[in-house]
Amino acid sequence: MIDLSGKTALITGCSSGIGSETARVFVKQGAAVVIVARRREKLEELADELRGAGGEVLVVAGDVTAPDFPDEVVAQAVQTFGRVDILVNNAGIGDRSMATVRTTDELWDQVVAVNETAQFRFCRAVLKVMTQQGSGSIVNLSSIGGVYSIAGAAYSAAKAAVIGLTKNIGVQYAGTGIRCNAVCPGPTDTPMLAPGQEMDMEMLEIAGRHSDMTCGMSEPVDMANAIAFFASDEARYINGQILVIDKGSCI
């Protein structure tokens, strides 16, 4: 079993889905967790559950797109736990599969801000601490949209940018104790894909032709397990790599 005992992990987007499930898996494996999301009540609920399971938890509520927020979160994490060993850059939003011609400036800017720029700022913030420690593992959440571009225009672009950022950090710290990898979930049963949103049905239908739709959705725990692997010392020689987790629907 993967062992994260003694490690402190900072996880964004913990109010639901892959983020909260990753926090559960990490606590089970012995990590102290800093859980981050906008909605404090959701975080407190999760924190109660995690503490009930024996976990050490710090709750930091806020907006990941606020320019100073990542540095503030890292400062609080260091104050509480003394270090940050793991960053899971998970907070993200969907773009309702909007095709290029139907993507407004506002939708583009919002998706780039949350899915791309916020990940950059969190990486920059933890790297200041990780370089002092001489160790650390960053796991960025990209998507099959970032590899196969089967999503909306803004989501495909921003999630690919995350892959570029991941490889870039991988190059920079190659051979040091700091690593950076990305996990690319396929369709996963989370609120991001909840029904009732006004989707670009034409684009969805076209994208659907490029993957095996009979594979169905994955569960958040499947992503959490892969994230835990990359985060852990089991993956100590794996750096700058991109892993797709989609049951093989997009080969």
Partner 1 sequence: MDRMKGKYALISGGNSGIGAASARLFAREGAAGIALLDLDKGDGKFDAVAEELRAMGCQAIAIPCNVTSSAQVRAAVEQVVQAFGRIDVSVHSAGVLDYNSSVLRTSDELWDRTVAINQTGVFYCCREVLKQMEKQGEGSIVNISSVAGISGNSGAAYSSSKHAVVSLSKNIAMQYVGAGIRCNTICPGPTTTGMTELKPEEMGEDGLPNDPRFDTEFTHICSRHVDQSIGFLAAEDQAKAILFFASEDSSAVTGQWLLVDKGFY
Residues of the shown chain interacting with partner 1 in the complex, contacts defined by CB under 8 A = 67, 99-101, 103, 105, 108-109, 112, 116-117, 120-121, 123-124, 127-128, 131, 145-146, 148-154, 156-172, 174, 203, 206-207, 210, 240
160 to 142, 143, 167, 223, 231: CA distances (angstroms):
7, 8, 11, 18, 21
- Comparing CB distances to partner 1, the nearer of 26 and 148 is 148
Identify the H or E element spanning 36.
strand 32-37
Shortest separation between residue 58's beta carbon and partner 1, angstroms:
24
Q: Are 109 and 126 in contact (CB under 8 A)?
A: no
Active site residues: 155
Shortest separation between residue 228's beta carbon and partner 1, angstroms:
24
- Comparing CB distances to partner 1, the nearer of 137 and 166 is 166
- Comparing CB distances to partner 1, the nearer of 22 and 166 is 166
Shortest separation between residue 147's beta carbon and partner 1, angstroms:
8
Q: Are 217 and 223 in contact (CB under 8 A)?
A: no
What per-residue string of b and e applies to 206-229 under the rule 16 or more CB within 10 Å gives b?
ebeeebeeeeebbebebbbbbbbb
Instruction: Tell me the residue type at 239.
Output: N
Measured distance CA(186)–CA(161) in Å, rounded: 17
- Comparing CB distances to partner 1, the nearer of 152 and 220 is 152
Measured distance CA(30)–CA(25) in Å, rounded: 9
Residue with tokens 């002092």: 132
Shortest separation between residue 169's beta carbon and partner 1, angstroms:
6
Q: Which of 132, 136, 128, 34 is nearest to 77 (CA)?
A: 34
